[in-house]
Structure 1
Amino acid sequence: MGRLHTIENRKGKQDAKRAKIFTKYARLIAVAARDGGADPEYNAALKNAIDKAKSENMPNDNIDRAIKKGAGGGEGDNYESIVYEGYGPGGVAMIVETLTDNKNRTAGNVRHYFDKNGGNLGTTGCVSFMFERKGEIIIEKNDSINEDELMEVSLEANAQDFVTEEDCYVIYTDAADFLEVKKALEGKNYEFVSADVKLIPANYTTIDESNEKMMEKLLDSLEDDDDIQNVFHNAK
């Protein structure tokens, strides 16, 4: 009974986390459809949002509903994008991207998460100069992948950089070229661990064990908030 209860408890937490992810992606899709139209072929932001949602196994019904709400002037209307910058524990540079229908609530929550976990919010621009917006595509290493071929496809499609890590390949692109490179790799049937446009730090900050634990708590708090879409940081 004890083990069954543990499994059920874990499954419940996983289901709750998945529901939160779906809520965030529904919001992202609705806003993308509101701003650029309902056809992903002509709306790069919407296509990327749908791809991200599908990678988390978000049901097609949920995706279609979010597109209709956004394009129809419904749910997407009252959300705005607000970016917060600041420092986490140990001086870690952090950027928090949000989609919110109540900026006072979101600002208060974000400030609370930082204050409670050894960080502090800063002014706009205080850390953004440390980051560059790039496409990042991660492909897991396996015996079926020829590294030279993967590199050739990536660079021919206009990738900026190709990095070989211990267990994966990381392909960086200019943000504007991300979808082109991603489409080229998909055309060759490569599967991605992740593929998204991110803020990549120019350098990293090493933090000690006590700050690392606070950093984990801060990231968990931010991740659990429905208003928060992305968190970028330079902790090593």
Structure 2
Amino acid sequence: MSGHSKWANIKHRKAAQDSKKGNERQKLIKMIIIAAKEGGGDPGMNVRLKAALDRARAASVPNDTITRAIKRGTGELEGVSYEELTYEGYGIDGVAIICESLTDNRNRTTPEIRAILERNGGSMGTAGSVAWNFERKGSITIEGAVDEDQLMEDAIDAGADDVAVNEEGATVTTDPSAMMDIREALEKKGYKVTDTENIFVPKTTVTISDAEKARKMLKLFDLLDSHDDVQNVYANFEFTDEVNEAIANDD
């Protein structure tokens, strides 16, 4: 177990970017549709749908919109059909990138993702080219000040793998299959859980020590993340303390 995680910092920064996106609500609706399509419309029996609903409600998506999205996913209502596509590629200095998308037109999305990569110092990879360097984890986001030692003890007791504390709260990392049970256990302890999701966590990282390269990597990350069809972007970069300070001064 570790109290701080550089990957959590990247993920936290991504969450801050997500909150500013005008298309975030549409992305959440797509998540509900595909979750209902794959696992049915009952969140009590569909963990993925329950997590998507929690995120949508936290983002104030109206209940009638959520209901329609579920019905579209289960086929009760006609609508656009989405498919899940995962793109793998490389960024600056060989940084590994995984990009998850939901699209109604792969012939549009694929060349657009390739163009973003190639125009910003990256390249598209083949299936499996970088996935080996990531593992699936469940991620539980806790909002508000926490006692790090107490949270770590509570998380371990509940079966979690890791805890990372940040300025806004904490992120608890778990086995995906145990995520919802651990969430329930932490909520019973009084923690305010605001999000649960399955994520990719890198096994190894690439350290970027040049501030200009770091800025380019962040630009690439944000361009991918802002694409209408992209749901999540994961990468295995980290910055030196000097670069982090330089980037912070940019803000």
TM bin, normalised by shorter chain, reads 0.7 to 0.9
Once the two structures are TM-superposed, the CA of residue 204 in structure 1 deviates from its matched residue by: 1.7
Give the aligned length. Answer: 220
Q: Which residue of 2 aligns with 1:10?
A: none
Once the two structures are TM-superposed, the CA of residue 35 in structure 1 deviates from its matched residue by: 1.6
Contact 1:94 1:231 (8 Å CA) reproduced:
yes
Q: Which residue of 1 aligns with 2:218?
A: 216
Larger Rg: 1
Q: How far, CA to CA, are the matches of 1:176 and 1:21 in structure 2?
A: 26
Contact 1:29 1:67 (8 Å CA) reproduced:
yes
Structure 1 residues 12-91: aligned runs within 5 Å = 17-18=21-22, 20-74=23-77, 78-91=81-94
SS in 1 for 2:207: coil
Contact 1:139 1:192 (8 Å CA) reproduced:
yes
Once the two structures are TM-superposed, the CA of residue 216 in structure 1 deviates from its matched residue by: 2.3
Q: Deviations over 1:52-94 (max 9, x none)?
A: 2222222222212211221235467621111110101222110
2:120 corresponds to 1:117: yes
Once the two structures are TM-superposed, the CA of residue 206 in structure 1 deviates from its matched residue by: 1.8
Q: 1:58 to 1:189 in 2, by over 3 A?
A: farther
Once the two structures are TM-superposed, the CA of residue 166 in structure 1 deviates from its matched residue by: 7.2
With structure 1 as the length reference, what TM-score do the two structures score?
0.83
> Which residue, 123, 131, 135 being the options, matches 1:132?
135
Q: How far, CA to CA, are the matches of 1:56 and 1:17 in structure 2?
A: 12
Q: Which moved more, 1:47-56 or 1:157-166?
A: 157-166
Identity among equivalent positions (%) equals 42
Contact 2:144 2:192 (8 Å CA) reproduced:
no
Q: How far, CA to CA, are the matches of 2:57 and 2:70 in structure 1?
A: 14
Q: Which residue of 2 aligns with 1:170?
A: 171
Q: How far, CA to CA, are the matches of 1:105 and 1:150 in structure 2?
A: 45
Superposition RMSD in Å: 2.4
Q: Which residue of 2 aligns with 1:153?
A: 154
Contact 1:37 1:71 (8 Å CA) reproduced:
yes
Contact 1:84 1:97 (8 Å CA) reproduced:
yes
Q: Deviations over 1:111-132 (max 9, x none)?
A: 0100110000111111111111
Q: Which residue of 1 aligns with 2:14?
A: none
Q: Which moved more, 1:73-82 or 1:102-111?
A: 73-82
Contact 1:31 1:76 (8 Å CA) reproduced:
no
Q: How far, CA to CA, are the matches of 1:84 and 1:42 in structure 2?
A: 29
Q: How far, CA to CA, are the matches of 2:147 and 2:220 in structure 1?
A: 39
Amino acid at match of 1:45: R
SS in 2 for 1:94: strand
SS in 1 for 2:192: coil
Q: Deviations over 1:126-178 (max 9, x none)?
A: 11111111112243562xx4444433332222212334567744322111111
Q: Deviations over 1:186-225 (max 9, x none)?
A: 2223124643221011122122222222222222222222
